[in-house]
Chain A
Amino acid sequence: MSTLTIPTTQNESHVGHPNRSDSTRKYLVLIADNSDSALRTTREYFKEVGCDTIAVRSREAAKLIIDYNANSLDAIVLDRRLTCDDDAKDSSGRELAREARREFGELFAIVVYSRQDEDHQSDPDTPAGENDPHDEIIYMSKEEHRGVLVDKVFQLIQLRASTSHRRLRLPIHLPPPVIILEDAEASSDSLQAELIARHVHARPLSNLDDLLTVAHHLPSATFIIDLDACERKGRAERGVEAIRALKSLEDATGRSFYVAALASGEEFMSMTLEASADDFLVKDKDSAETDALELDARMRLHKIESDQIALAKPVTKLALIYYKKLVEQLREIKESPERGMASPLRTIGRALNLPSLTPQEQLVLTSLHTQMLTIGARAADARTLDLCIEGAMMLADNRASRADVRGWSERALRHSPAFALTWVSERAFEELLDDDTEWDDE
């Protein structure tokens, strides 16, 4: 592992370990700062020493990253005034740091740094010496050179790596978040509250860049883009661009995103749908409850559809196992017809219990099943067995998707009516369609 020299004002040499000793993965550092320039600078320093970084501009985005990536993070670096630099009372960064420490213990190092000369020392609420140094939240001033910050973060990471308890992995059981992109000033708290009341894991975000950054670090999520909020900032098109970017990310990385646009009118509808949004909802201006209900319903429907797609993979695998087994069983029966149809019938029974079968599969399985029930324990004739084997082979070849199922069923029925149900017995034939066909007066 190489030793890196980190540029500092003091021109000190710092021992950097940009790669984890236990894997080839680089250290992952979350940096949250509402100042674009500060964020950029800090990020550059960490990148320069070979770290992977996640850079966000808001407390909400940082919280999302922490919650869903706690096990991957090595350190988080939070601006103390994460919401408003001009507000001396803003300590949202520090609050988030405490929250993270409370929820995730010693999983990662935490540094809070601020522009003003405040909280430079250890957390005043945590008496010095009470915890191990690596348990503490470290406070640093922005007056310090970024190299010092980087150096401190590395020290903390290394310290944690040297102790056994750091490598704990917490099981994270959070449902995929529902991220609402809204206007922080005209926040639609009520929509979020209504969604939360419906047990939807709703989380607000107000920054488009953060939204895309967060999306890169979530395996699945729902995004609700409030186009009115974007328009108030004079950038409704950016909302549409974000939708396009989210859907591209989903396509490129196989993530599962549901992206819905929300607006008070329909003027952006076609633009939004062209950007591949999954849904477009027109707000009910009088009731956030209506919007929440509609979103809840549509999200659940989308989940059902997604689950249906996800279901196809194991079902296909399982079906092909059954079909190959069926071919083998039928071939064995052809060798020794006295075996009877009990084994293949069981296999077909299991296959018929699979969800999401295609119409071709349903046809062939039902037809084989009907024939085999008729054969029962008897020895089937060779031609019938050949047709059964052919049917099973069609199934085994990509679930009969390429097969001429119609041609097979036609030939099968011609050879033996037992490939289909006899719906009309001779008696029914005489009595059913018109009682007087043959014998009536004219």
Chain B
Amino acid sequence: MTPNGTTNEGEPTGWAADPRSETALFLETSAQFHRLTGPDLIRDTINVMIDGSDKVGTSWYVEREFKYVYIGFFDTVAGEVRKLSHLSRPRKFWEMWLEVDYQLPKYYAGGPKVFLWLSKTLSEALAEEFGNELVTPLTLLNRVVGHKEFLLANFIKRKDFFNKSSCGVWDKPHSCSCGPDPDADCRLKEVGVEMRSDFLAAAETLSRSNCSESKWLKENLPRLEAAHGKALLDLMGEHRDYVSDIVIFWEVPDGWTILTRDRAFGILQEALRDEVKVYTLRLPREASGEKCQVRPQAAPEAEGVLINYNAKGARISADPVFVKRLRKREHVTISTKEFGTDEAPELGYSRDGRVVYRDKKDVSVFAVRFPSE
């Protein structure tokens, strides 16, 4: 059983009514961020887990990534606001924001998706706040920095703070001066040199999966395998976005539970480490048990049972022979009373989606993902 709002990768279909205490809870970057800014349910889930755990920790690389991606975003925006002329002269918010937005870099460290989302959320929040009022760049600046300071102050960093990654290779530009071998103070050598085989095994595991870093890892696995000592550390530093999950994964000590939103950790845990657990944050699913009809595009329909669902998708149990014939991404229509409402039954009981998952352990179970509305 896993806490409400999380998925244990080992038990992908289960979720409990109440969050469970952990002996030692490790907050990965996404968990740190969602604790502060996520939907209420997610924040509450994380906080209850923190309160119920004997120890709560995080790592050097998590802090670096948190600052690099989120704090870096606010610093970039604040930097552009500071460049506006006449900081104390009131202007229309949108005029100012267009000027700021135009100057923001088009490539961003956290990835374009994260950048666009942060930028969009901030602009919407500020637009709602200021509307058509006249506002000074100074006020805008103080608000932006205020949000940043809030995140910075509330990053959880307690006495359990693990570090197998601090090194100048992460800096931009690269500021590591040791060589040809890492020096005695280098902490990254613990992951890149002493645990080299573990690091490479993790890279190989993710290269075979379907994560955001998989493509690069697949193409560059030979380069990583060929690099030794400082050369490997340099390579890691040059491509930090593709190795960061691996580094964090190996910073977590045995016996700890990783709380994350990133599926890469579940994949790594399942393949490489029984000594840690991974909980992946997700919105809860409604348990059902109602009968449903599953209608594929190119095959006869079949009857099944809706196990659980949410706005994003559904898990269904059906005849294993029928499930085996389903193809990945195949379009299906699910009809069940569960999807209707008593107030508006005319809206129908069906939802369209695509097959995205077949359970390897229980061959009668598959999952459908609903399109975004």
On A, residues with C-beta under 8 Å from B are: 349, 352-355, 357, 359-360, 362-367, 369, 373, 405-406, 409-410, 413-414, 417, 420-434, 436-442
Contact check, B282 vs A438: say whether CB atoms are below 8 A apart. Answer: yes
A421 and B147 within 8 A (CB): yes
A422 to B121, CA, bound (A): 9
User: Which of B138, B139, B154 sits near A410, CB closer than 8 Å?
Assistant: B154
- Contacts A441-B358, A442-B360; A432 near B114 (Cβ below 8 A): yes
Nearest B residue (CB) for A430: B312
Beta-carbon contact of B39 and A429 below 8 Å: yes
Q: Is B220 an interface residue (CB 8 A)?
A: no
Residue of chain A at shortest CB distance from B145: A362
List which B67-103 residues lie within 8 A (CB) of chain A.
87-88
Given A366-B145, A427-B372, output 14 extra A-B contacts at Cβ < 8 Å. A352-B146, A353-B139, A363-B150, A421-B147, A424-B39, A428-B117, A429-B39, A430-B311, A431-B372, A434-B212, A438-B282, A440-B210, A440-B263, A442-B209
The tally of residues in B whose CB lies under 8 Å from a CB in A reads: 57
A429/B30 in contact, CB under 8 A = no
* Residues in B46-77 with C-beta less than 8 Å from chain A: 47
CB A421 to nearest CB in B, in angstroms, measures: 5
Q: Which positions in B face A, CB cutoff 8 Å?
A: 7, 30, 33-34, 36-43, 47, 87-88, 113-114, 117-118, 121-122, 125, 129, 136, 138-139, 142-143, 145-147, 149-150, 153-154, 209-212, 261-263, 280, 282-283, 311-313, 328, 356-358, 360, 367-369, 372
Residues of B within 8 A of A405 (CB): 153
Chain B residues with Cβ below 8 Å from A373 are: 129
- Whether A362 lies near B154 (C-beta < 8 A) is no
Give every chain B residue within 8 A of A432 (Cβ-Cβ). Answer: 113-114, 117
Q: State whether A439 touches B312 (Cβ < 8 A).
A: yes
CA distance A409 to B151 in the complex (A): 10
Contact between B146 and A366, CB atoms less than 8 A apart: yes
CB distance from A359 to the nearest CB of B (A): 5
Top 5 nearest A-B pairs by Cβ distance? A366-B146, A423-B37, A363-B149, A362-B146, A439-B369
Task: Assess whether B121 is in contact with A353, with CB atoms less than 8 Å apart.
Answer: no
- Please name all residues of chain A whose beta carbon is closer than 8 Å to the beta carbon of B313 when the two chains form the complex: 438-439
- The chain A residue sitting closest to B29, CB to CB, is A433
B37 touches A422 (CB 8 A): yes
Known: A355-B88, A417-B40, A421-B37. A441 touches B210 (CB 8 A): yes
B88 and A422 contact, CB distance less than 8 A:
no
- A424 surroundings in chain B (CB, below 8 A): 33-34, 37-39, 42, 121
Task: Please determine whether A429 and B117 come into contact, CB atoms closer than 8 angstroms.
Answer: no
Contacts of A414 in B (CB 8 A): 47
Instruction: Please tell me if the beta carbons of A426 and B117 are within 8 angstroms of each other in the complex.
Output: no
- Given the interface pairs A426-B39, A439-B313, A441-B357, the reply to whether A369 lies near B143 with Cβ below 8 Å is yes
Q: Considering the chains assembled together, what is the distance between the CA atoms of A438 and B313 in angstroms?
A: 9
Q: Across the interface, do B7 and A438 meet the contact criterion of CB distance under 8 Å?
A: yes
The 8 listed contacts between A and B (C-beta, < 8 Å) are A352-B143, A409-B150, A409-B154, A423-B118, A437-B262, A438-B312, A442-B209, A442-B360
| A234-B188 Cα distance, complex, nearest whole Å | 57
Residues in chain B near residue A438, CB distance under 8 A? 7, 282, 312-313, 367
Give the chain A neighbours of B138 by CB distance below 8 A. Answer: 352-355
* A contact residues around B7 at 8 Å (CB): 438
Is B118 in contact with A362, judged by CB distance below 8 angstroms? Answer: no
In contact, A366 and B312 (Cβ under 8 angstroms): no
Q: Which residues of A contact B280 (CB under 8 A)?
A: 437
Give chain A residues whose Cβ lies under 8 Å from the Cβ of B39: 422, 424-426, 429
**Complex Cα distance A437/B143, Å?**
33
Query: In the complex the two chains form, what is the Cα distance from A76 to B7 in whole Å?
Result: 90
Contact at B145–A437, with CB atoms within 8 Å?
Answer: no
B368–A363 CB distance below 8 A: no
Option from A362, A364, A422, A439 in Cβ contact (under 8 Å) with B368: A439
B262 near A367: Cβ-Cβ < 8 Å: no
Closest beta carbon of chain A to B331's beta carbon, Å: 14
Q: Chain A residues near B263 (CB, 8 Å)?
A: 434, 436-437, 440
Contact across chains for A353 and B40 when beta carbons are under 8 A apart: no
The listed residue (A353, A421, A430) touching B283 by CB distance below 8 A is A430
> Chain A's nearest CB lies how many Å from the CB of B179?
32
Residues of A within 8 A of B41 (CB): 426
How far apart sit A440 and B40, CA to CA, in the bound complex (Å)?
25
List residues of chain A with CB within 8 A of the CB of B88: 353, 355
A437 to chain B, nearest CB (A): 5
For residue A362, which residues in chain B have a CB less than 8 angstroms away from its CB? Answer: 142, 145-146, 149
Q: Indicate which residue in B142, B154, B372 contacts A413 across the interface (CB closer than 8 Å).
A: B154
Residue of A nearest to B142 (CB): A352
Contacts of A433 in B (CB 8 A): 30, 114, 261-262
Indicate which residue in B139, B153, B154 contacts A352 across the interface (CB closer than 8 Å): B139
Known A-B contacts A363-B153, A367-B150; the reply to A355 vs B37 at CB < 8 A is no
A413 contacts across to B, CB distance below 8 A: 36, 43, 154
In Å, the complex CA distance between A423 and B124 comes to 10
Taking CB atoms, residues of chain B closer than 8 Å to A406 are 153-154
B302 to chain A, nearest CB (A): 20
A437 and B261 contact, CB distance less than 8 A: yes
User: Which A-chain residue is minimally distant from B314 (CB atoms)?
Assistant: A439
In the complex, residue of chain A having the shortest beta-carbon distance to the beta carbon of B43: A417
Q: Which residues of B contact A434 (CB under 8 A)?
A: 211-212, 261-263
- Asked if A363 and B146 make an inter-chain contact with CB atoms under 8 angstroms apart, the answer reads yes
Determine the distance from Cα of A405 to Cα of B211 in the docked complex, in whole angstroms. 38
Contact (Cβ within 8 A) A429 B211: no
Chain A residues contacting B149 (CB-CB under 8 Å) are 359-360, 362-363, 366
**Chain A residue with the shortest CB-CB distance to B39:** A426
Inter-chain contacts of B40 with A (CB < 8 A): 417, 422
B38 touches A366 (CB 8 A): no
Known A-B contacts A406-B153, A422-B38; the reply to A355 vs B87 at CB < 8 A is yes
Known pairs A423-B118, A442-B357; A437 contacts B282 (CB<8 A): yes
Tell me, in angstroms, the Cα distance from A331 to B358 when the chains sit together.
59
Looking at the complex, which one of A359, A422, A439, A442 makes contact with B145 (CB distance below 8 Å)?
A: A359
Chain B residues with CB under 8 Å of A364's CB are: 146
Q: Chain B contacts of A421 at CB under 8 A? A: 37, 121-122, 125, 147
Docked pose: A366 CA to B145 CA in angstroms? 9
Q: Kindly state the separation between the CA atoms of A337 and B122 in the bound complex, as whole angstroms.
A: 30
Q: Contact at B153–A440, with CB atoms within 8 Å?
A: no
- In angstroms, how far is the closest chain B Cβ from the Cβ of A399? 13
Q: Give the most central of B36, B113, B117, B149: most A CB within 10 Å.
A: B149
B305 shortest CB reach to chain A, Å: 18
Query: Within 8 Å CB of A359, what residues of B?
Result: 145, 149
Q: Contact check: which of A360, A410, A436 meets B210 at CB < 8 Å?
A: A436
Q: Which residue of A lies closest to B129 (CB)?
A: A373
A366 x B142 contact (CB < 8 A): yes
CB distance from A12 to the nearest CB of B (A): 66
Give the chain A neighbours of B356 by CB distance below 8 A.
Answer: 436, 439-441
- Which residue of chain A has its CB nearest to the CB of B130? A349
- B144 vs chain A, min Cβ distance (A): 9
Closest Cβ of chain B to A387, distance in Å, is 14
Cα distance, A359 to B149, chains bound together (Å): 6
Which residue among A354, A365, A433, A436 has the maximum number of chain B CB atoms within 10 Å of its CB? Answer: A433
Chain B residues within 8 Å of A355, by CB: 87-88, 138
